[in-house]
Amino acid sequence: MPFVSIRILEGHTQKRKNEISRRVTEAISEVAELPMDKIWVVIEDVPGSDWFVGGEPTREPKRL
């Protein structure tokens, strides 16, 4: 059973996290030829003060 752990900067909407989970699950299901209900995805929110890019803390997710 695949287990996927995703860490993202806190502040993303639940809608966006649901979409990330759906797409990751579909991709693994297709490539590994496994039913989707056998794939686990966990998304962990990381505060901007604990997420660093280029040695500097990040404050909020980029809006795309």
Burial (CB count within 10 angstroms: exposed 0-12, middle 13-18, buried 19+), residue 43: middle
Does 63 score more than 60 pLDDT? no
pLDDT of residue 27: 98
Residues β-bridged to residue 45 = 8
Q: Which residues are catalytic?
A: 2
pLDDT of residue 49: 85
Task: Quick: pLDDT tens for 14-59.
Answer: 999 999 999 999 999 999 999 999 999 999 999 888 988 888 887 7
| Residue-range domains of the chain with CATH | 3-63 (3.30.429.10)
* Global confidence as pTM: 0.81
Q: Please tell me what DSSP assigns to residue 34.
A: -
How far apart, in whole angstroms, are the C-alpha atoms of residue 7 and residue 5? 7
Higher pLDDT, residue 6 or 55: 6
How far apart, in whole angstroms, are the C-alpha atoms of residue 25 and residue 4? 9
pLDDT of residue 64: 47
